Amino acid sequence: MTTTKREKSLIVIQLSGGNDYLNTVIPYSEGKYYDYRSTVNIPQNKVIPIDDHYGFNPSMGPVKSLWDEGKVAIINGIGYQNPNRSHFRSMDIWHTAEPDSIGKEGWLGRAIRDIDPQGENVLTGINFGRGLPRALACPGVSVASVGDLDTYGLFPDVQDEELRMFTLEAFSKMYGGAAGRDPVMELLGQTGQDALQGADILRTAPAMYSSSVEYAPDSLAQNVKSISQVFHANVGARVLYTQHGPFDTHAGELISHAKLWDEVAGSVGCLMDDLKEHGTENDASILIFSEFGRRIQDNGSGSDHGSGGVAFMIGGAVNGGTYGEYPSLAEAEQIEGDLRSNNDFRSVYTGILEDWLGLDAAPIVNGQFEKFDLFKS
Amino acid sequence: MISNDTALMAHLLRRAGFGANRDELESYLEIGYDGAVEALLNPSDPGNMPDDLIRRYHVDQSELRDLPGSSAYWMYRMISTSCPMEEKIALFWHGLFATGYSKLNQARSQLNQVEMFRRSGLGSFEDLLVELSKDPAMIVWLDNNENHGASINENYGRELLELFSMGIGNYSEDDIKGCARAFTGWTLGNAEYMSVRAAKDSIWPYGRIAWHFDYREEDHDDGEKTFLGETGRFNGEDIIAIIVKQEATARFVATRLFQFFAADEITEAGEKTIEAMMATYFSSGYQIRDMLRTLFHSDYFKSEEARFARVKGPVEMVVGAIRMAGNYQDPYLGIEGVANTMFYMGQGLLRPPTVEGWHEGAEWIDSGALVERVNFVAKELSNVSSPGVRSIIERLEAGADQGVLQPSELADGCLDLLGPIQVSEETRSVLVEYASRHGDLDLNGHQPGDQAEQRVGDILRLVAATREYQLA
């Protein structure tokens, strides 16, 4: 790619397992919060206030700093009608942008197809972690899935580097040979070449990168570091995806949720510092989401599956602030003991696709949705 | 060097099973091709890994409600069975009548469905559809518990016709309504409560659920229905009896079986085979076993054209490699991770992406999936401490002149013992060149894991990474 102006990239951090909204952006001025959350609450004096009513979880210090710089958009009460409390189904809904029937294609898979319709760049979309999240899956769209950037590619278990190179060379010859007229053999050959090419490019990324930022050793921080390395290697990666968890805090929530948010906030803080250091702060935006929020009433040790959650959009180009209403805790407003979402997740997708990635959102998210003004123009 | 009989038997076992190591191949060769077809189509005692042994290692495989343990449990079956066709046909129906964990949150009900496929999957298609319509996992998956006499829900009625029997274009919207009405009242015990619990993800922390079929006469629409030109006060069984006698159904079932057990693409000769399977469908009273017998005995199936004419699905890929390497014959604590590998390749057991099942054939191949496929199989087959790989080394030594193999003998020997696998001249020449790296291989006095053995492992790794190995 020879563009002088860098294309905008989207970084997604998926919080798997159902992040507890009430203990992430805390309605600390409301008595009802402490009534419902008699055990699993964040005491007022621990909350990091962002205004007189709401505040961040004490583990979210780095996010608060970014909030103060106007780089954090909080999207309140995000979800969809008729909430489903199954992790798998709800995550599928978020991934396919299809709440009613069972969707086939991932929203970001479609976005990648629109960005690169001919599939010219095998690295337009990259997942960091093993296996492809449904969000990135779309027939005909090549997406690399990088478990470990340092060993990414074929035959990672071959320790002897000379043997590995020799084997890769043989692989390249076997997949590069004429396939005759067999279309499947041809497809295999092309795909094998793509995989090698992607791996070759990706393997150079860590060497091209230097930074004074030190990421923590946890798995999310390491994946986010890989994201930064690949993003800064200028290989045309437009969608970079990873996930973290488990946020399924049915028991022992206060301890595990704090640790998870330490890791998420720490990783995001490092990434933003890293972008700043490289002068790319306005070229990447980070979406953080989870498949659902959790039950309003705690269960004495944790909280059960609920509905209505919170998403964040973070970046130098993001219009910081809160979007949408925080759902009411009043009993009449609840659905089966859960928060009632009032912002469709597809409106956020629409904003990202149109205003950040410059794509036509409606065919990707299966309809027209009013969007928030999440990005500086 | 490789006999036609051996190559044909290996072909049969890749299709009616998960491939075979040389010991298995030889025991099938003793009973001959016809005997092997009968043995495969008439499963006896599979000799599974015993449940009590599994439970000693895997607490979650006692209850079998969660996804990871349950998919691993099925994988243990596939790895350890001596009746591979039983698992293969279950996998076939699991892909066709695709029921997913995402909506059920109840893997036990899915494993019960899989057990039903093992039990009835080779019998009459009519009986199978009746069992399917009574299967609790299917009822919840396609909302037949919401299909009431007073207000129908067409989901199951529609998919039964479109995805499970005739295919689109062979019935009208009115037929769908008639079909849905006939299945009103086909629900599960305590349906309302169970569906709420499923939607709320009852795995945790709400306690146990067991699902069973329940027919509610008071919720059944007993009125007159018109379905595919016939009129009567049809119930579900009557509808199925009409479905199974349609030519479209015969074609649908024969085609799907053909594509799973013979070839992804249907050539002219393939089309003739499908027609022969359709004829068997009717003459045998809709027996799947007989249709497959027709297929396996067809000239087409035995011809070169049908060899390696399918892209291996991820489950076949993983299970085949594990069986070849002889690994995981005892419980292993990381087994969920191994089962997850199939998901990383695009085919998680018990979690088909949609009711349409998986898109098979060439659609299995994308760069992420190919990397996973090659890496898994290459690692599995290059490990010289695995029993199956040790046996390959022993056989290579036994077949070598004075225990020494020339590079071409080493490459050909590995291709033979992992299949036999047919490869292009170019692939073979790369393998031979690779094998030449350290000259002739002297296996005299080889010791477990020594350099000589590792050289065999290196060739096996590369064979496992060939384009040809991606095909079944």
Task: Read off the pLDDT of residues A301-312 as tens digits, 9 standing for 90 and up.
Answer: 889 889 999 999
Helix (H, G, I), strand (E, B) or coil at B469: helix
Model confidence at B206: pLDDT above 60: no
Contact A192, A169 (CB under 8 A): no
Query: What pLDDT, on the 0 to 100 scale, is given for residue B137?
Result: 94
Query: What pLDDT, on the 0 to 100 scale, is given for residue B204?
Result: 46
CB-CB under 8 Å, B370 with A191:
yes
Chain B CB contacts of A143 under 8 Å are 366-368
> Distance between CA A205 and CA A214 in Å, rounded?
17
Model confidence at B261: pLDDT above 90: yes
Other Cβ atoms less than 10 A from the Cβ of B469: the count is: 26
Residue B4 located in a structural domain: no
Average pLDDT over residues B263-290: 97
Minimum distance, in Å, between the CA of residue A138 and any CA atom of chain B = 10
Sign of the alpha-carbon dihedral angle for A65, A67, A70, A73: positive
Model confidence at B24: pLDDT above 70: yes
Who has greater pLDDT, A204 or B231?
A: B231
Query: What pLDDT, on the 0 to 100 scale, is given for residue A152?
Result: 84
- The percentage of residues in chain B with a pLDDT greater than 90, rounded to a whole number, is 84
Residue B463 located in a structural domain: yes
A97-125 per-position pLDDT tens digit: 999 887 879 999 999 999 999 988 989 99
Residue B52 located in a structural domain: no
CB-CB under 8 Å, A157 with B467:
no
Decide the pairing of beta strands A284-290 and A239-244: unpaired
Short-list B241, B212, B445, B256, CA closest to B361: B256
Average pLDDT over residues B341-366: 88
Model confidence at B207: pLDDT above 70: no
pLDDT grade, residue A130 (50/70/90)? confident
Model confidence at A42: pLDDT above 60: yes
Average pLDDT over residues B205-217: 76
pLDDT grade, residue B266 (50/70/90)? very high
Residue B347 located in a structural domain: no
How many C-alpha atoms does A308 have within 13 Å on its Cβ side? Answer: 23
Q: Which residue of B has its CA nearest to A251?
A: B205
Query: What pLDDT, on the 0 to 100 scale, is given for residue B4?
Result: 85
pLDDT grade, residue B200 (50/70/90)? low
Query: What pLDDT, on the 0 to 100 scale, is given for residue B208?
Result: 55
Predicted TM-score (pTM) of the model is 0.84
Model confidence at B292: pLDDT above 70: yes
Chain B CB contacts of A179 under 8 Å are 467
Model confidence at A326: pLDDT above 50: yes
Residue B214 located in a structural domain: no
Residue B70 located in a structural domain: no
Q: Which residue of A has its CA nearest to B101?
A: A88
B147-194 per-position pLDDT tens digit: 999 999 999 999 999 999 999 889 998 999 999 999 999 999 988 887
Residue B111 located in a structural domain: no
Other Cβ atoms less than 10 A from the Cβ of B189: the count is: 13
Strands (E), B300-457: 404-405, 441-442
CB-CB under 8 Å, B461 with A87:
no
Residue B5 located in a structural domain: no
Which distant-in-sequence residues (6+ apart) come within 8 Å of A151 by Cβ? none
Nearest to B102 among A89, A132, A185 (CB): A89
Which residue, among A184, A186, A201, A295, would best test binding to B if mutated, counting the most B CBs under 10 Å from its CB? Answer: A184
Chain B CB contacts of A299 under 8 Å are 205
Over A113-124, what HEC string results?
A: HHHCCCCCCCCC
Rounded to the nearest integer, the mean pLDDT of chain A is: 92
Rounded to the nearest integer, the mean pLDDT of chain B is: 93
Decide the pairing of beta strands A284-290 and B230-232: unpaired
Query: What pLDDT, on the 0 to 100 scale, is given for residue B209?
Result: 67
Query: What pLDDT, on the 0 to 100 scale, is given for residue A1?
Result: 40
pLDDT grade, residue A4 (50/70/90)? very low
Phi, psi of B468 (to 5 degrees): -60, -35
Residue B135 tokens, joined: 């299967």
Structural domains counted in chain B: 1
Query: What pLDDT, on the 0 to 100 scale, is given for residue B63?
Result: 84
Query: What pLDDT, on the 0 to 100 scale, is given for residue B201?
Result: 60
Cβ–Cβ pairs < 8 A, chains A and B: 141
**B426: Cα separation from own chain's centroid:** 31
Kindly list the structural domains of chain A, giving each domain's residue range(s) and its CATH number in brackets, ordered by start.
9-152+214-365 (3.40.720)
Range of the domain at B388: 383-470
Average pLDDT over residues A208-235: 94
Interface confidence (ipTM) of the complex: 0.92
Nearest to B205 among A84, A185, A250 (CB): A250
